[in-house]
Amino acid sequence: MASAALLVAGLLAVPSVVPNTVGHLGSLLETFLPWGGLAVPALLVVALLRRSATALVSLALPAAVWIVLFGGRVLPADRAPAAHDLTVLQHNVSDENPDPGGTARALAEAGADLVALEELTPAALPGYAAALAPGHPHHVVVGSVGLWSRHPLADSRPVDIRPAGVGGDWNRGMRSTVRTPSGDVAVYVAHLPSVRIRLPDGFGTGWRDESAVALGAALGAEKLARIVLLGDFNATLDDRGLAPVTSRLTPAEEGFGFSWPAAFPVARIDHVMTRAAVPVTTWTLPATGSDHLPVAARVTW
């Protein structure tokens, strides 16, 4: 029991010790890392059944590690209007959304200055454009991603984040300059490839990781000081596969913010990140017809 408690504590504290060489097991662990704390009550039950005082004492270590790493996220997010320069909203609206009209109306009513969407389809796009236009007269769509803004947009262009071997009609990255009252900001919208668990390959993150490298390079080359990145990255902030992006930007990570799947969220894979700016508040919105929850954040320069 003591060795099991030590193992859990070690994996929570240093998940990078699990290599990605076999089935990307390291990334799989990091994807669900906060849930590793459930091992503590499971081991507690075993310790009580065995009436082992040593086992009970040993559980203090993994419990302490979990509290240090994630305890602060248990506290409810403060949604009071903190001082901020911009409110942003990110949502993978799902290309299988049975109610795109309802989703569009919910997003329009959220009050964000910027709205970034992924998995836009040609059939659903007019509905989103019509619903968002009154409050967001400026917009640009590249492939299946789009950005709607209260403020003027300029220099909008695709960002090539295609993994090797993916066709040229795969467009899931874009960049635009948003002319805010307090200055220009480069806003990126990205949708990294999905990941799957399949036998015998394990956790299939290859394309996503390639895409993250390409996105990180684009962010590193950005000329404007201020960056806001919005998107569905199919990766949590703990996942080493997202390091090319997270090493360059500051993520909005207040609370757990689990955003997927909408019916019972277990992972935060939809993100807001910034450079030369600070996310002061972040939260998830109620479920729409998508399998993701919308994610909002307030940002200050």
> Using one digit for the tens of pLDDT, what is the confidence trace for 186-221?
999 999 999 988 877 789 999 999 999 999 999 999
pTM for this structure? 0.93
Reported as a pLDDT band with limits 50, 70 and 90, residue 80 is: low
Residues 44 and 64 in one domain: yes
What is the average pLDDT value for the chain, to the nearest integer?
A: 93
Residues 70 and 107 in one domain: no
Cα gap 75→117, rounded to integer Å: 28
Residues 201 and 92 in one domain: yes
Report pLDDT digits (tens) over 134-144: 999 999 999 99
Q: Are 66 and 40 in contact (CB under 8 A)?
A: yes
Report pLDDT digits (tens) over 251-272: 998 889 999 999 999 999 999 9
* 43, pLDDT greater than 90: no
Number of domains in the chain: 2
> Token pair for residue 182?
């307090």
- 57 inside domain: yes
- 80 inside domain: no
Q: Which of 47, 74, 101 is the last residue of a domain?
A: 74
Range of weakest confidence among 41-45, 148-152, 256-260 = 41-45
**Domain CATH number, residue 188:** 3.60.10.10
> Token pair for residue 173?
């990255």
Token pair 């972040």 is found at 282
- 79 inside domain: no
Residues 166 and 138 in one domain: yes
